[in-house]
Amino acid sequence: AVSLSLPLPRRLSYAVGHFLNDLCASMWFTYLLVFYHSVLGFRNTNAGILLLVGQVADAVCTPLIGYESDRTPGCGKYGKRKTWHLVGTLSVMLSFAFIFNQCLRCDTLTPQSASLTYFVPFIIIFQFGWAATQISHLSLIPELVTCEHAKVELTAYRYAFTVIANITVYAVAYLLFHIQAGTDDSQLGDTLGPVDMPIFRNLALIVLAIGAFFSILFHVGTTERRPGAARGAEGEEGRFDDKEEEGELRPLLPRPSSSLLQWKCWLQQPSFYQVALLYMSTRLIVNLSQTYISMYLINTLKLPKNYIATIPLVMYVSGFLSSFIMKPVSKLIGKSLTYFVGLLLIMAFSYWVLLDKTMDDRVYWASVLLGAGSATILVISLSMTAELIQSGAFVYGAMSFTDKLANGVAVMVIQAMHPCHSVLCCPACVWFYHYIMVIVTGGVAVVAALALCSILIWPIRIRPRESYSYSKCSVYVPLNHNLSFLSL
């Protein structure tokens, strides 16, 4: 008998392989801007440049590493996926601590242009390592198991540890702020400033220590099968697939034939642009709200600095809990209406922020709305993307590339519009972040609603390839081809 699933220890060892990435990503989006602006004293545009550089590096590295990881043989018997994972892990370990720290031999007289030059290489190395780890980890799934049920199971374990990683970052940040508040240092207060640099440095070091431990567990407990062995197992296990892919495990669309559309023909598909607009709007809401929530809390609401740990924690936990009721709701009313419910929650948050200008502790309840709404629209948009792609590499690659670029450009535009040209927050800064939180949630939600309406009026549909010239618009791709760079 052929085992259709990995033993529990091997499932767990695989699942923790992305833990370091999840920890670092949580810090990157939540604390990068607030650290460089409020702690290191960077000008708004310079802080935006650093985040833009990181997003561009990630967008460029993702397809290139995916291509190379498929092409290169790896290091001896270690396996090509695990080799790339090790390279990525080492790159992250060697660079991330420098990103959340003061540059070496820098002081208040050091020009910010020199500091930018110092941080940019570390950010590029970090994003290269992050992409290499993510792609190689995703690519291992079809090489460890072949039946659909086992793939879904591994993905579920992976997501569970993503949740744990995010909660860990915010919980550790809260503990560090709490320990700092218990000291008798008169220089410390509730306002975030240069004295808080050790908080972020220690948080980054703790994140790296925890992530390194779980990365070691991954490399020790995960064995990558050789390609020949994987193909042999696939042929034997393939007989079981039809029985396993029943009910909710059945693919959203039938398996594609051996001929897939080329990228030029995807550009002629109206559904490609509908889903791309929906997906990009969703990512902008999720990432920009996560990026600017800390600035909103400390500059607009004037809340104590420990709120930049507790509010993101509440957002993430509420989003995780909402995922449990999302599935039955989606079955009852459909994906489109479920997505609309998520948009309503986000619009309710935006309206609350717009009207309640002195929110204080009521921000906890508002953050529950934002967290639940963000999780809902993100999961449903991924499902709609899966309906469209039919294993098409170009769709995943294009949406991943444009999503990362769009987030970086959006942050840069917002930072360039900042009304305060000094390091400290001027009176106009209070209202600036107030309206930014309204726009990046409610404003972008309106765009997402328009994209959803277009899908309801013109449902997702792929023009059959027979309507194109076969030589121009189809390309042979083996069904077991591993499209490892399709990373979202």
pLDDT tens-digit map of 281-295: 999 999 999 999 999
The predicted structure's pLDDT at residue 357: 85
Statement to judge: residues 151 and 268 lie in one domain: no
Statement to judge: residues 242 and 358 lie in one domain: no
- In angstroms, rounded to a whole number, what is the distance separating the alpha carbons of residues 52 and 56? 6
- Tally of CA atoms within 13 A in the half-sphere of 395 that contains its CB: 26
The predicted structure's pLDDT at residue 344: 96
What is the number of structural domains in the chain?
2
Whether 255 maps to a domain, the answer reads: no
Ranges of the chain whose pLDDT falls below 50? 1-3, 230-259, 391, 468-471, 474-488
Q: Are 482 and 67 in contact (CB under 8 A)?
A: no
Token pair of 49, please?
């440049």
Statement to judge: residues 203 and 293 lie in one domain: no
Whether 290 maps to a domain, the answer reads: yes
Q: 203, 226, 250 — which closes off a domain?
A: 250
The model's pLDDT over 417-432, given as tens digits with 9 standing for 90+, comes to 988 876 667 778 889 9
Statement to judge: residues 221 and 370 lie in one domain: no
Contacts of 300 (CB under 8 A, 6+ apart): 430, 431, 433, 434, 437
Whether 45 maps to a domain, the answer reads: yes
Statement to judge: residues 171 and 300 lie in one domain: no
Statement to judge: residues 212 and 303 lie in one domain: no
The predicted structure's pLDDT at residue 254: 40
DSSP readout, 470-487?
HHHHEEE--TT---TT--
The predicted structure's pLDDT at residue 228: 52
The predicted structure's pLDDT at residue 487: 39
The predicted structure's pLDDT at residue 330: 86
Statement to judge: residues 228 and 375 lie in one domain: no
- In angstroms, rounded to a whole number, what is the distance separating the alpha carbons of residues 125 and 350? 36
Q: Domain span at residue 18?
A: 1-250
Statement to judge: residues 377 and 484 lie in one domain: yes
Contacts of 291 (CB under 8 A, 6+ apart): 29, 30, 32, 33, 51, 411
Kind and range of the H or E run holding 260: strand 259-261
Q: How far apart are the first and last CA of the chain?
A: 35
The predicted structure's pLDDT at residue 488: 40
Of 62, 85, 63, 59, give the one whose Cα is nearest residue 74.
85
Whether 36 maps to a domain, the answer reads: yes
The predicted structure's pLDDT at residue 391: 45
Statement to judge: residues 341 and 218 lie in one domain: no
The predicted structure's pLDDT at residue 311: 96
Q: 189, 222, 250 — which closes off a domain?
A: 250
Whether 58 maps to a domain, the answer reads: yes
The predicted structure's pLDDT at residue 149: 75
Statement to judge: residues 186 and 264 lie in one domain: no
The predicted structure's pLDDT at residue 90: 97
Statement to judge: residues 170 and 28 lie in one domain: yes
Statement to judge: residues 225 and 279 lie in one domain: no
- In angstroms, rounded to a whole number, what is the distance separating the alpha carbons of residues 201 and 191? 18
Q: 226, 250, 274 — which closes off a domain?
A: 250
Whether 60 maps to a domain, the answer reads: yes
What's the CATH code of the domain at 64?
1.20.1250.20
